[in-house]
Amino acid sequence: MTATSSEPLTLGPLALRLDRNGAFAREIVLDGEELFRGIGFVVRDANWGTPHLPAKARVTRDPGRATATASGTLDHPAGDLNWSVTWTVTDRMIEGRARVTSTSGFETNRTGFVVLHSLGAARGRPVAVTHPDGRIEEARFPELVSPHQPFFDIAGMDYETSAGHRLRLTFEGEVFETEDQRNWTDASYKTYCRPLALPYPYRIEPSAVVEQVVRLEILAQAAAPAVHLQSGEPTVQKTAPLPILGTSLPPGPMTPAQAGALEALGLGFTAIEIDLSDPAWLEETRAKISAVPNPLRIDIRGAAALDMIAAVEELSLVLTRRPMVGVSLWEADDAVVAAARAVLPGVAIGAGTGAFFTELNRMAHWPAADYLAWTSNPTVHGSDDDTIGETTEPLGDILASARAKLPVRRFQIGPMTLGLRYNPNATSPEGRRSAVPPDPRQRQVIAAAWLAGTTAGFLDQDVEALTFFEPAGPKGLIADDGIWTPAAHLLARLVRCAGRTVSVLRWAGRPRVYGLLIQMPEHDALCIAHVRNDEVTLPLPPGAWRRAEMLTQAGFVDHPSMDFRVGPFGVAWAIRSKQESL
């Protein structure tokens, strides 16, 4: 039978989900264990953007085998790209074959296959890496987040998963290497081509034909299937005070809608981000400081040392007597931090990066600041809903890595946004300055679910502050027309709980469900976030639960029963009569 389909493919104990365009096989599961977040064909442009590849997969199912084909043409400012992918799947093997040509030539940083090794299956596991010359290197997937690639020059990989499945990967047509994607909050290790030591962007010439093969072989299955129980009451993963929660004003003039949103939201603080290359930065920042009603944090993007020190001196004149969360000097060194302390005695001075945890993780020296900072967003390597949900999974690994290697044990994380605020890794000045289009999901419940899951993942004694989104506009908590987004409704509730003791609850077999059990003076509040594209029914902790609500586009609405059925990328809220926490 032949049909156009995006349905999951299941062959014996092996199951996967093929993207509608046929470019990516996702959630590759064997006997209940997720082996890979995905294996797929990707295109990255010269600024590391990921263009969508429009196509529709054609799937043929035969006894014991499924075949899927897809092809299309990408028209892009960097040129045109003609691509095709063919998948062959049996109960013991997945093979992907890609072919690429260009009529006019195409400039790219990466075009080819990537393999996303799932954390649960691979974290800390030994792996035999086969190099193109036949040499075999015995290595191990890192447990802490690796700042640099753990494996280079790869032609094949053999390893046994945590459940006991023995796997072999082989690659043809290009040399591959592996990076730790937890640096960007992806829940995977990524084996990709081509090596980053080679020049990029590079050009696929009109005369070139690029052909690649990636093959997964299941050498042996575990003696017993992986068992993931999905029952019972939740257990406490960790307990800590809820950090102060705020939002961020981007560089540029402040709008009336932003001022009104800050007044309405009543958040714990407002971060003002400053780009010193903007000639009007000082005038704009003074206006924002005057208009912001709550405590401030100043975030200064990386610049020349003398310029950053001069900016702090200018700002000191208007920060007098203002409640301050801190002044973040992104990419600053010890001398700049010391100079800022002298100018602003008594104010917490932070350092770190305005980019991803990657940049902080890769620093050769970390300034002796009062706190270290980094930013985050869930769409660095993909923009589908499932990728957004996935990025809540490795946050505990990131914090463990920060504690293990950073000299400062106080962290402030954010601004955190659905999309990039700006692209610090773009390969041109224009790419670094250009604004990223707003994500339409900013006004949907998925943004609130990601916010709650991220808050749960980063809950820790060492985390002082979390910064989410902008106050208003297409990237904001409140739309320019004054309508509150679901994320605004949720954040307005959570901000009142700052400093309260919170326990993060987890349900067995539900890696994308998070509970925030908050100890309030008169009652306990439970916020549940479900960041996966399915529906779950969850048992609640013991106690007299007397009210339940679900988050909708219009805000929280009463839920008719305490049967907690939470939909895809959903958020729920419940109230329990006061009792001891779990």
What is the pLDDT, as a whole number, of residue 433? 60
pLDDT at 421 over 90: no
Residues 6+ positions from 284 with CB-CB distance below 8 Å: 251, 252, 253, 254, 278
What is the pLDDT, as a whole number, of residue 564? 78
Distance CA 151, CA 158 (A): 13
Contact between 378 and 391 under an 8 Å Cβ cutoff? The reply is yes
With cut-offs at 50, 70 and 90, classify the pLDDT of residue 49: confident
What is the pLDDT, as a whole number, of residue 480? 86
Tokens 């996935």 -> residue: 390
Mean pLDDT of 249-255: 94
Distance CA 268, CA 106 (A): 47
Distance CA 117, CA 53 (A): 22
Distance CA 226, CA 31 (A): 6
Q: Residue 61, SS3?
A: strand
Using one digit for the tens of pLDDT, what is the confidence trace for 61-73?
A: 999 999 999 999 9
pLDDT at 390 over 80: yes
| Through-space distance between the first and last CA atoms of the chain, rounded to whole angstroms | 53
What is the pLDDT, as a whole number, of residue 427? 57
Q: Are strands 324-329 and 296-300 parallel, antiparallel or unpaired?
A: parallel
Mean pLDDT of 437-466: 96
Using one digit for the tens of pLDDT, what is the confidence trace for 518-568?
A: 999 989 999 999 999 889 989 899 888 988 999 999 999 998 776 778 889
Q: What is the CA radius of gyration of the chain?
A: 24
Upper half-sphere CA count for residue 563 (Cβ side, 13 Å): 3
Q: Residue 41, SS3?
A: strand
Tokens of 64: 């014991």
pLDDT at 52 over 80: yes
Q: Which long-range contacts (CB under 8 A, 24 or more apart) does 436-442 make?
A: 438/473, 438/474, 438/475, 439/379, 439/383, 439/475, 441/385, 441/388, 442/418, 442/469, 442/474, 442/475, 442/476, 442/485, 442/487
DSSP classification of residue 290: H
Distance CA 448, CA 443 (A): 9
Tokens of 201: 């962007």
Distance CA 466, CA 259 (A): 20
Distance CA 208, CA 61 (A): 33
pLDDT at 512 over 70: yes
Query: Minimal CA–CA distance to 464: which of 580, 324, 582, 307?
Result: 324
Answer whether the bond into residue 215 is a cis peptide, omega within 30°.
no
Q: What does residue 74 show for φ and ψ, rounded to 5 degrees?
A: -100, 120
With cut-offs at 50, 70 and 90, classify the pLDDT of residue 47: confident
Distance CA 573, CA 559 (A): 9
User: How far is C-alpha 206 from the chain's CA centre?
Assistant: 36
Q: Residue 323, SS3?
A: coil
pLDDT at 233 over 90: no
With cut-offs at 50, 70 and 90, classify the pLDDT of residue 581: very low
Distances from the Cα of 576 to the Cα of 198, 520, 538, 579, angstroms: 58, 10, 16, 8
User: Could you give the strand order of the β-sheet that contains 555-558, starting from the edge strand earlier in sequence?
Assistant: 235-241, 501-507, 510-519, 523-530, 570-577, 545-552, 555-558
Contact between 389 and 533 under an 8 Å Cβ cutoff? The reply is yes
What is the pLDDT, as a whole number, of residue 209? 96
Mean pLDDT of 161-185: 97
With cut-offs at 50, 70 and 90, classify the pLDDT of residue 420: confident
Distance CA 39, CA 169 (A): 11
Distance CA 412, CA 462 (A): 9
Tokens of 192: 């990709």
pLDDT at 255 over 60: yes
Q: Are strands 463-468 and 244-249 parallel, antiparallel or unpaired?
A: parallel
Using one digit for the tens of pLDDT, what is the confidence trace for 266-295?
A: 999 999 999 999 999 999 999 999 999 999
The DSSP secondary structure of 388-445, one letter per residue, reads: HHHTTTTHHHHHHHHHHH-S---EEEEEE-SS-SS-TT-SSHHHHHSPPPPPGGGGSH
What is the pLDDT, as a whole number, of residue 560? 77
Other CB atoms within 10 A of residue 429 CB: 9
Using one digit for the tens of pLDDT, what is the confidence trace for 1-12?
A: 333 446 789 999
Distance CA 237, CA 390 (A): 18
Prediction pTM value: 0.91
